[in-house]
Amino acid sequence: MVTMSNVPERMEPHETPTPHRFGRADLQVHTSSGDGMEDARSLFERIELRGELDVVAITDHDDVRGALEAREVHARSPYHFDLVTGVEVTTLSGHLLALWVDVPIASFRSLEATVAAVHRAGGLAVVPHPFSALTRSVGRRALERALAVADTTTHPDGIELANPTSMGWDTDDRARQLNATRYHLAETGGSDAHFVEAVGDAYTLFPGRDAEALRRAILDRQTRGVLERGTPLRAIGARR
């Protein structure tokens, strides 16, 4: 049985966790209900076949309906992984992952107001691909401004430190260093997959194997973002 007492306070990068103690969660996957290329069923069948993930979060841009549709698909089949409903919300400062939400979260508000709205909806807020110039991302100044607010309901719960879209850039290393020394948010990882081939390229490592354990681990800062691989464009195909 996994308990918080037998999980190291901080998992070191060189550790090789045993599959019985730790689970893998891809916390940023997009479907064709948004700007992804596959519907939920196609994604889930591939995830089930590969058998590498324990939890998957559907986070289409600025619309929770894709996640709700995915929840219906997931409920109709005996998949061996848990589903987290979510949405990638566009704030005035950049994108924000709202996880464990099943209601709309308004877009184009301040980062602080959006994080607070996610918490009111019963969800957790994670800053994806921080500081990245490749996509609309929360910058260092905006994140630190939110964390400086006395009201902790405006503070994000996690920061995505593993995302294949920023491979080869210095943003991951910079964010990892700042989080370790200043922010102390839960580490997460997500593939940001818009194609089924990319699902699982990055993931969140956590003690436990289901969505409930994952949520608890994020709140307890017992997670680690892992970049497993990148999917080359030739594996997807130019026609797609």
Determine the pLDDT at residue 157: 98
Beta-bridged to residue 24, according to DSSP, are 205
Distance of CA 50 to the CA centre of its chain: 19
* Percent share of the chain, pLDDT over 90: 74
Lowest mean pLDDT of 26-40, 66-80, 112-126, 207-221, name the range.
Answer: 26-40
Show the 3-state SS of the chain: CCCHHHCCCCCCCCCCCCCCCEEEEEEEECCCCCCCCCCHHHHHHHHHHHCCCCEEEECCECCCHHHHHHHHHHHCCCCCCEEEEEEEEEECCEEEEEECCCCCCCCCCCHHHHHHHHHHCCCEEEECCCCCCCCCCCCHHHHHHHHHCCCHHHCCCEEEEECHHHCCCCHHHHHHHHHHHHHCCEEEECCCECCHHHCCCEEEEEECCCHHHHHHHHHCCCCEEEECCCCCHHHHCCCC
Of the pLDDT bands very low, low, confident and very high (cuts 50, 70, 90), residue 232 is low
Model pLDDT for residues 174-224, shown as the tens digit of each residue: 899 999 999 999 999 999 998 888 899 999 999 999 999 999 999 999 999
Phi/psi of residue 77, each to 5°? -135, 150
Determine the pLDDT at residue 103: 97
At residue 30's C-alpha, the angle toward residues 25 and 31, to 5°, is 120
Model pLDDT for residues 68-106, shown as the tens digit of each residue: 999 999 999 999 999 999 999 999 999 999 999 999 999
Of the pLDDT bands very low, low, confident and very high (cuts 50, 70, 90), residue 3 is very low
- The answer to whether the pTM exceeds 0.75 is yes
C-beta separation of 167 from 201 below 8 A:
no
